[in-house]
């Protein structure tokens, strides 16, 4: 049997609860195929700071880089808000992404028919939405130099190199080839020189994918179009700060942040995580929605391990659970047949995935 080594970073708040359910589903679907998982736990976030004084211990980096993939829960909470910036959980996460070289953040936004009324937009606007935001993750203004502040000014620098743009563009076009073969590149080329470089390089890369239709859109228009007509998008390619904002906007098309997964991939390793935060206010209550994390595990199977059939089984199990009316508390008002705890929802999906 094939063995896959998975680094588990449960993190803070609801992180341990939702990761446990994803593991349950992974083990269930693995029983149907010729592979199994070896899990190694590692610390990151506030819990890591409490134990080691560092939100990202070197051991966590080592464990992650020696694994086939990383399954990550969530980090942070008000408990650590008053720490120096470099000691906060979020600083550990930024450093983690940089150390692992995960330069591409993949954020799908899918609207399930069974939950179409959960969206704040009209059903006729969101029905059938299935898009992917491909966000450059370790460059741009969050990492650019120089940066700093004094009493009267603060400054950050947006920088992209040709090589950084080329590699994220290839990622977007390759994903588009497995979907509807359309890429919309989002920038602000009418104002920013760095965006003009982005547009020029993406256009060059597009010549290597003649089957893919490339369009360009300014970020302010893209933000509007995501609400006006989200079905026009297949793959949205953009830089770090624009992608940060647009992917969160896209996530709300589904009506619940608890449904949507993500992947952060690079040349060496991939990190798979729900898009939501650690929700410390509901931690330990058994009401967190594990679906985003379970779907992140499905993305891990598909993009890191090449186990597409197993990923398909998990995706089908999630859809079946929703179709049959199982809901966690956050979705209880939307045609719920039964309101489930975090663990119960994980068990239902695991049972369906094993069939």
- Per-residue pLDDT tens for 22-65? 999 999 999 999 999 999 999 999 999 999 999 999 999 999 99
* CATH code of the domain covering residue 201: 3.40.718.10
Of 188, 223, 254, the position where a domain reaches its end is 254
The answer to whether the beta carbons of residues 290 and 18 sit under 8 Å apart is yes
Shared domain check, 98 and 208: no
Please state, in angstroms and rounded to a whole number, the distance separating the CA atoms of residues 217 and 209: 19
Shared domain check, 310 and 249: no
- 244-to-15, 25, 63 alpha-carbon distances in Å: 21, 29, 27
Cis before residue 146, ω within 30 degrees of 0?
yes
The answer to whether the beta carbons of residues 194 and 125 sit under 8 Å apart is no
Which is nearest to 293 in space by CA: 353, 235, 342? 342
Mean pLDDT of 219-228: 98
Of 220, 254, 288, the position where a domain reaches its end is 254
Shared domain check, 70 and 30: yes
Share of the chain above pLDDT 70, in %: 100
Q: Assign 94 a pLDDT band (cuts: 50, 70, 90).
A: confident
Shared domain check, 98 and 2: yes
Shared domain check, 157 and 235: yes
Shared domain check, 245 and 266: no
- 99-to-81, 156, 215 alpha-carbon distances in Å: 23, 21, 32
What residues have CB less than 8 Å from 66, skipping those under 6 apart? 5
DSSP 3-state assignment of 278?
Answer: coil
**How much is the pLDDT for 251?**
87
Shared domain check, 342 and 329: yes
Shared domain check, 245 and 127: yes
Whether the full predicted model's pTM is greater than 0.85, yes or no, is yes
What residues have CB less than 8 Å from 33, skipping those under 6 apart? 307, 309, 310
Shared domain check, 246 and 128: yes
Shared domain check, 227 and 209: yes
Q: How many domains does the chain have?
A: 2
**How much is the pLDDT for 91?**
93
Shared domain check, 190 and 89: no
- pLDDT, tens only, 284-333: 999 999 999 999 999 999 999 999 999 999 999 999 999 999 999 999 99
DSSP 3-state assignment of 132?
Answer: strand
Mean pLDDT of 180-194: 98
Please state, in angstroms and rounded to a whole number, the distance separating the CA atoms of residues 80 and 309: 41
List, by residue number, the catalytic residues: 142, 188, 220, 244, 248
Q: Which structural domain, as residue segments, surrounds residue 18? A: 1-112+256-355
Is 257's pLDDT higher than 90? Answer: no
- pLDDT, tens only, 95-150: 999 999 999 999 999 999 989 999 999 999 999 999 999 999 999 999 999 999 99
Is 258's pLDDT higher than 90? Answer: no
Please state, in angstroms and rounded to a whole number, the distance separating the CA atoms of residues 73 and 89: 13
Shared domain check, 263 and 250: no
Mean pLDDT of 159-164: 98
What proportions of the chain, in percent to the nearest 5, are helix, strand and coil? Answer: 45, 20, 35
Mean pLDDT of 268-290: 96
Angle in degrees, 0-180, between the axes of helices 15-30 and 291-299, rounded to the nearest 10: 50
The answer to whether the beta carbons of residues 35 and 97 sit under 8 Å apart is no
Of 254, 281, 316, the position where a domain reaches its end is 254
């Amino acid at each position: 049997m094939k063995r896959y080594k998975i680094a588990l970073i449960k993190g803070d708040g609801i992180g341990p609860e939702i990761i446990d359910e994803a593991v349950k589903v992974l083990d269930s679907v693995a029983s149907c195929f010729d592979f199994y998982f070896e899990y190694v736990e590692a610390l990151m976030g506030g819990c890591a700071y409490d134990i080691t004084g560092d939100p990202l211990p070197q051991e966590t980096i080592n464990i992650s880089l020696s694994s086939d993939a990383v399954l990550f829960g969530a980090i942070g909470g008000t408990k650590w808000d008053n720490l120096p910036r470099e000691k906060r959980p979020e600083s550990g996460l930024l450093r983690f992404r940089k150390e692992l070289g995960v330069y591409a953040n993949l954020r799908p936004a899918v609207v399930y028919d069974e939950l179409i009324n959960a969206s704040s937009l009209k059903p006729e606007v969101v029905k059938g939405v299935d898009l992917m935001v491909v966000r450059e993750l370790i460059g741009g203004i969050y990492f650019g130099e120089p940066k700093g502040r004094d009493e009267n000014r603060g400054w950050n620098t947006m920088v992209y190199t040709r090589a950084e743009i080329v590699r994220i563009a290839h990622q977007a076009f390759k994903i588009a080839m497995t979907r509807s073969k359309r890429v919309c590149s989002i920038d602000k080329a009418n104002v920013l020189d760095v965006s003009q470089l982005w547009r020029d390089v993406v256009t060059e890369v597009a010549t290597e994918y003649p089957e893919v239709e490339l369009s360009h859109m300014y970020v302010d228009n893209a933000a509007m179009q995501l609400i006006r007509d989200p079905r026009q998008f297949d793959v949205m390619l953009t830089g770090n700060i624009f992608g940060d904002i647009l992917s969160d906007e896209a996530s709300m098309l589904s009506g619940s942040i608890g449904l949507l997964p993500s992947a952060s991939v690079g040349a060496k390793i991939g990190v798979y995580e729900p898009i939501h935060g650690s929700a410390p206010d509901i931690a330990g209550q058994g009401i967190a929605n594990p679906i985003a994390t379970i779907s992140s595990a499905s993305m891990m199977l598909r993009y890191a391990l090449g186990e597409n059939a197993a990923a398909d089984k998990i995706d089908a199990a999630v859809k079946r659970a929703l179709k049959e009316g199982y809901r966690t508390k956050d979705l209880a008002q939307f045609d719920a047949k039964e309101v489930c705890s975090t663990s119960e929802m994980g068990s239902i999906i695991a049972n369906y995935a094993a069939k």
